[in-house]
């Protein structure tokens, strides 16, 4: 065969390739910058780099002809260079790729070969520190143009290109990962803010319902109680007792739904009152300690309410389920500008059934909505800790 390839005569092609690559910061422009030098070594109609991407996938970068290879990633098993990239051979040389079963097998992404008549093809591995990072692929529309000398030249070109393009590809992957992470964080923050706004709306509706219960239902029950306990009414001690219980329960619901104590007297006082009401007549020692100089009351109102709801639920669980003799609530500072809410009891710990209760799930959800961490510790009792702000 009479080859059309001649040994390059113009200066040192590989020094020029290195000089061009040193000035580039992205793969596409770097490949375009060295296309003429590659053509001096091996004439081509189309040339591309296939670089390993995430496991099982390849990314392609092209010069000469733009095809679908560079518009989307390709799975290794669908790539015409799969035998090379999977280690079945050290190089691939095709006289006519359009008729080569290694290139045009069923399921292969070989449309560019057929559409652009890429007949002569040579493929060599690109390696960095002995590890394959991809392949250099050179094609021409003339069949039978390339031979084993072409393979040798292509390998020399690949050896020069590999460290540069590996560095560029690594940088691009890192940049892409950063962008994906930032977009995910932005979406998460958008969802969190939306959920927080919804929580605020629900809280306002909850308070409205509480006021309605107070102004209407509780008033009606109180009037009914007066009527059946009046001098002219027939006496029913059982009915009186039941209505008194209903009124007591309703007042508790209203107090929970409308945190007026929180609004009027602040976080610590509201927690103290709720703790005393939760334990009722039980012989349980209770303390509330704030070493933050009232930091909860300087929070955004929605965040403060969510923190109060978490404290309520934790106190209720401790009072109802732990069998504790002591319940403590601590509000402590967290440098530089956060705080830690701790509800601790000396009861029976955390029964496995309690861990699955909806109350705990609600507390975790409220904590996430205000970007807080919630820890639950079984430490000879039960300790629930809410960390609002970054840990030091």
CATH of the domain spanning 261-392 = 3.30.565.10
Cα–Cα distance for residue pair 56/48, rounded to 1 Å: 19
Give the residues across from 211 on adjacent strands. none
Q: Identify the bridge partners of residue 63 per DSSP, sorted by sequence position.
A: 47
The residue count of the chain comes to 392
The per-residue pLDDT for range 229-238, each reduced to its tens digit, is: 766 555 667 6
Residue pair 37/131 in contact by the 8 Å Cβ criterion: no
Fold of 13-183: Beta-Lactamase (3.30.450)
Sheet of strand 91-94: strand arrangement:
74-75, 57-63, 46-52, 131-140, 120-128, 91-94
The predicted model scores a pTM of 0.51
What per-residue confidence (pLDDT) applies to 1? 37
User: pLDDT tens across 119-161, in order?
Assistant: 999 999 999 999 999 999 999 999 999 999 999 999 999 999 9
Cα 74 to Cα 52: distance, rounded to the nearest angstrom: 10
First to last CA, the chain: 73
| Cα gap 16→39, rounded to integer Å | 13
Residue 388: count other Cβ atoms within 10 Å of its Cβ.
Answer: 22
Q: How is the chain split into domains, by residue range? A: 13-183, 261-392
């Amino acid at each position: 065969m009479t080859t059309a390839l001649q040994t390059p005569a113009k200066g040192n092609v590989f020094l020029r390739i290195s000089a061009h690559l040193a000035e580039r910061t992205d793969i596409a422009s770097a490949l375009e910058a060295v296309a003429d030098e590659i053509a001096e070594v091996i004439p081509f109609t189309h040339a591309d780099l296939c670089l390993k991407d995430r496991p099982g996938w390849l990314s392609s970068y092209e010069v000469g002809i733009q095809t679908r290879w560079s518009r989307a990633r390709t799975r290794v098993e669908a790539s015409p260079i799969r035998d090379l990239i999977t280690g079945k051979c050290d190089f691939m040389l095709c006289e006519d790729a359009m008729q080569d079963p290694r290139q045009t097998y069923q399921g292969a992404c070989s449309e560019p070969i057929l559409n652009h008549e890429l007949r002569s093809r040579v493929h060599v591995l690109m390696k960095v520190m002995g590890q394959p990072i991809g392949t250099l692929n050179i094609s021409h529309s003339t069949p039978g143009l390339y031979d084993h000398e072409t393979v040798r030249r292509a390998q020399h070109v690949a050896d020069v290109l590999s460290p540069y393009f590996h560095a560029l590809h690594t940088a691009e992957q890192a940049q892409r990962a950063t962008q994906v992470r930032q977009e995910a964080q932005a979406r998460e923050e958008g969802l969190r803010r939306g959920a927080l706004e919804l929580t605020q709306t629900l809280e306002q509706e909850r308070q409205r319902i509480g006021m309605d219960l107070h102004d209407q239902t509780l008033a009606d029950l109180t009037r009914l109680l007066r009527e059946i306990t009046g001098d002219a009414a027939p006496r029913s001690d059982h009915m009186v007792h039941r209505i008194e219980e209903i009124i007591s329960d309703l007042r508790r619901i209203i107090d929970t739904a409308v945190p007026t104590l929180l609004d009027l007297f602040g976080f610590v006082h509201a927690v103290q009152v709720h703790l005393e009401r939760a334990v009722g007549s039980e012989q349980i020692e209770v303390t509330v300690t704030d070493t933050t100089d009232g930091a909860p009351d300087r929070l955004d109102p929605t965040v403060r309410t969510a923190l109060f709801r978490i404290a309520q639920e934790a106190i209720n669980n401790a009072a109802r389920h732990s069998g504790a003799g002591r319940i403590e609530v601590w509000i402590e500072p967290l440098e530089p500008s956060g705080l830690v809410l701790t509800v601790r009891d000396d009861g029976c710990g955390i029964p496995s059934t309690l861990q699955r209760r909806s109350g705990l799930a609600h507390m975790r959800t409220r904590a996430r909505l205000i970007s807080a961490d919630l820890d639950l510790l079984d430490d000879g009792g039960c300790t629930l800790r809410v960390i609002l702000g970054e840990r030091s």
